[in-house]
Amino acid sequence: MNSFFERRYVITGIFLTIIIILLARLFYIQVIDPRYAIYASNNVRREIIHNPARGPILDRNGKILVQNVPFYDIMVSPKQVKPFDTTEFCRLLGISRQEFDKQWQKAMKYSPTLSSPFEKQISVTTYASLQERLSEFPGFYSTPRYLRTYPDSVAAQFLGYIGEAQDRDIKRSGGYYHAGDYIGITGVEKSYETVLRGQRGVENLMVDSRGKPKGRYANGMFDTAAVAGQRLTSSLDIDIQKLGEKLMKNKLGSIVAIEPSTGEILCYVSSPTYDPNLMVGRERGNNAARIYKDPFDPFFIRPIQAKYPPGSSFKPLSALIALQEGIIDPGTTYYCPGYYKAGNRKIPCNNGEAHGLVNLSSAVALSCNGYFSMVFQKIMDRNGAKKTDATFANWRNNVGKFGLGSKLGLDMPGESRGNIPTPLHYDNVYKKGGWRSSTIISLAIGQGELLATPLQLANLECTIANEGYYYKPHLIKAIGEQNVIKKEYTVRNYVGIDSQYFQPVINGMQAVVDKGTAIKSKIPGIVMCGKTGTAQNPHGESHSVFVAFAPRDHPKIAIAVVVENSGEGAHWAAPIASFIVEKYLKGSISQRESGITVDYYANATRLPDSATYLHSNSFNRRKALKADSIKKRMQDSVSRKLKGAKSAAAKNKKDSLTRFLAAQPIRKENE
């Protein structure tokens, strides 16, 4: 009996304890902790995304290159839409009923419950008349956004443009981007996207059954403020950028100017260019389509994507390697009869000029092909003809130290490596052991398979100006209020040439401008050291090339100019470069003794015939594709014919066919 009463008290105690715990929990949920009430009220909550303004981009002197202008997107949550006056809504938005139906179907396809853009880029004026009546259209609401605007309409390929995030962008972002968000597509807008985009804000509103806002949700507990993107200060000088684009109008080519002491890019011209303002607004798609149809491809970023034979601008580099390795000295001479004989090949000097007895400095000044062919052959033959491939590999490695044949690591997407041919390439073309220095003698004067971007050519001049090292070129010098530059851009990259060997080369480069091939581009009061070049073009007139730095003592600017299909470097590239250099160093352009003027070069047209240009580029693409296709078919044929071959005869046959395969299509491609 006593045992029964004892159990009753225990059971009663357990029940009372449970009841007390439940009551306490209920009191906490309903009175103390508001989260559960908030969760229960989610069906009357609307999340408004506040997109931040993208960070502005300035030039090195604080002048605005790109900033923002506000606009509005009309968003829709289809599930929340109630019957409304569609005609009036279309009138307020300035759209037709057909456009409304199209946008509605698109929103439903995206999600009946989630918000998505219904009408984008509504101007402030249109929004002003719509705002007061927006509550009459449940399920529709506005969200502010920002478009880019370009006050001076310059540096389009440098700045790049923004566009709506695609599905792949949204997926890669891990959910950060949503439909309708904007993201950098090209240029600095892309490479510095995470810095420029800022941090979006979120506002949570309470809405009634008609979707009308009724105040802040949870008193703003879960709201976050939008944080604007950080300001970028670029290394560009807008004054010489504008001058460069003016000078390159109606021409194909590029200008790259760099400050040797920092690697900061001062001028970055790609021609033809386009007005970056065309890539914003409601007509962006139509404008882009027209630009894509341009046969000269303004979207092609020539400073880092175009590849040219460097021509004579390569000669100083070849001389520096020979000096370092003791192949020549500054007093080494060569008698130039107007040509150079390399085996059975005869390499003419420019226009067949006979330069007579020249040394290193005078050979640079006169751009003597014979002298540098002699230097190159001495380098290649120093270990004997049988070791040409190993000697060439060493030479190639030395050339690569100057930044050729590899990406320089520019803070912009799309940079090309250029090309320095490998020993394997020549083995494939001429078979192993079947080539000598005379076979590849065209490399001595920057021709043949050697290719470089304008950025690489300008960087080469920085190396000579610094007498043995360069800083990696870069376009952004500050982020926000702090001068934040990646560590890799502050490191000196030495090229393995002692500083003592640069003076005879620089002497020759000064003579190029003072009394040599670029004398017409001499700048009053400024000692400029340069090198003209003529890059051969198999589909038309040669490309005009000029590289330089100035002043000679404590150089402040290094530059490379390429004007396609324009002949010798002295005629077009050198004068254009001289105007840029003088404008940067003096702030103005003086009258020249030679009589050359900015207006003459700015108004001149050097565009090739568009049909010929299109044909040559289309031909090159078709030839490359055809060569790849032929090579693959032949490889497949060889594999099938020789599959399972075990005898020595079969092996010899395979080797023979493989050599034939390697040589034929590649030889055609290079020729």
What is the residue-wise DSSP string for 606-623? -PPPHHHHHHHHHHHHHH
Q: What is the pLDDT of residue 621?
A: 41
Give 268-319 pLDDT, tens digit per residue.
999 999 999 999 888 888 999 999 999 999 999 999 999 999 999 999 999 9
Q: Judge if pTM exceeds 0.85.
A: no
Pairing of strands 57-58, 232-234: parallel
- Of 109-113, 382-386, 409-413, 439-443, which gets the smallest average pLDDT? 109-113
Return the half-sphere exposure (C-beta side, CA atoms, 13 A cut-off) of residue 671: 10
- Of 10-19, 550-559, 560-569, which gets the smallest average pLDDT? 10-19
Which tokens sit at 402? 């100057």
Amino acid at 660: F
- Over the chain, what is the mean pLDDT? 85
**What integer is the mean pLDDT of 181-187?**
91
pLDDT greater at residue 528 or residue 646? 528
Which tokens sit at 146? 């920002």
**What integer is the mean pLDDT of 24-33?**
71
Q: What whole-number distance in Å separates Cα of residue 28 and Cα of residue 483?
A: 51
Q: What whole-number distance in Å separates Cα of residue 444 and Cα of residue 377?
A: 8
List the domain boundaries for the chain: 2-33, 45-234, 302-385+408-418+462-597, 611-670
Which tokens sit at 391? 């000697």
Residue 206 to residues 200, 201, 213, 218, Cα–Cα distance (Å) = 20, 17, 6, 8
Most confident of 213-217, 472-476, 565-569: 472-476
Q: Residue 646, Cβ neighbours under 10 Å: how many?
A: 7
Q: What whole-number distance in Å separates Cα of residue 254 and Cα of residue 274?
A: 14
Whether domain 302-385+408-418+462-597 has CATH 3.40.710.10: the reply is: yes
Q: At 573, give phi and psi (nearest 5°).
A: -65, -40
- Burial of residue 308, with CB atoms counted within 10 A of its CB: 0-12 exposed, 13-18 middle, 19 or more buried: buried
Q: What is the pLDDT of residue 122?
A: 86
Residue 228 to residues 18, 126, 194, Cα–Cα distance (Å) = 52, 25, 11
- 3-state DSSP assignment of residue 190: helix
Asked whether residue 572 carries a pLDDT value surpassing 80, the answer given is yes
Asked whether residue 645 carries a pLDDT value surpassing 60, the answer given is no
Q: What is the pLDDT of residue 454?
A: 97
Residue with tokens 């982020």: 479
Transcribe 240-275 into DSSP letters.
HHHHHHHHTTT--EEEEEEETTTTEEEEEEEES---
Asked whether residue 669 carries a pLDDT value surpassing 70, the answer given is no
- Fold for 45-234, please state it: Penicillin-binding protein 2a (Domain 2) (3.90.1310)
pLDDT greater at residue 397 or residue 133? 397
pLDDT greater at residue 277 or residue 19? 277
Q: What whole-number distance in Å separates Cα of residue 388 and Cα of residue 578?
A: 40
Q: What is the pLDDT of residue 654?
A: 40
Which tokens sit at 426? 């020549």
**What integer is the mean pLDDT of 168-193?**
88
Transcribe 528-546 into DSSP letters.
-EEEEEEE--TTSSPEEEE
Q: Which of 592, 614, 420 is nearest to 523 (CA)?
A: 592
- Of 235-249, 319-333, 335-349, 644-658, which gets the smallest average pLDDT? 644-658
**What integer is the mean pLDDT of 567-580?**
95
Q: Are the C-beta atoms of residues 251 and 270 closer than 8 Å to each other?
A: no
How many angstroms separate the most distant Cα atoms in the chain? Answer: 134
Give 96-122 pLDDT, tens digit per residue.
999 999 999 999 988 887 788 898 888
Asked whether residue 247 carries a pLDDT value surpassing 90, the answer given is yes
Q: 69: which residues sit within 8 A by CB, 6+ positions away?
A: 146, 147, 148, 149
Pairing of strands 232-234, 476-479: antiparallel
**pLDDT band at residue 648 under the 50/70/90 scheme:** very low
- With the CA atoms of 176, 137, 98 and 122 taken in that order, what torsion angle do they form, in degrees rounded to the nearest 10? -50
Helix 86-93 vs helix 97-110: crossing angle, to nearest 10: 100
Residue with tokens 């279309």: 90
Q: Which of 461, 333, 453, 473 is nearest to 404 (CA)?
A: 453
**pLDDT band at residue 144 under the 50/70/90 scheme:** confident
**pLDDT band at residue 650 under the 50/70/90 scheme:** very low
**What integer is the mean pLDDT of 601-626?**
66
Q: Which of 258, 292, 286 is nearest to 272 (CA)?
A: 292
Sheet holding 213-216, edge to edge: 45-50, 201-207, 213-216
Asked whether residue 638 carries a pLDDT value surpassing 70, the answer given is no
Residue spans of alpha helices (H) in 474-571: 502-514
- 3-state DSSP assignment of residue 2: helix
Q: What whole-number distance in Å separates Cα of residue 519 and Cα of residue 568?
A: 13
Q: Does an H or E element contain 316, and which?
A: helix 315-324
**pLDDT band at residue 36 under the 50/70/90 scheme:** low
Q: Which of 363, 349, 235, 306 is nearest to 560 (CA)?
A: 306
Q: Are the C-beta atoms of residues 355 and 333 closer than 8 Å to each other?
A: no
Transcribe 104-161 into DSSP letters.
HHHHHHH-SSS-EEEEEEE-HHHHHHHHTTGGGSTTEEEEEEEEEE-TT---HHHH--
Rounded to the nearest 5 degrees, what angle is found at the Cα of 130, between the Cα atoms of 124 and 135? 135
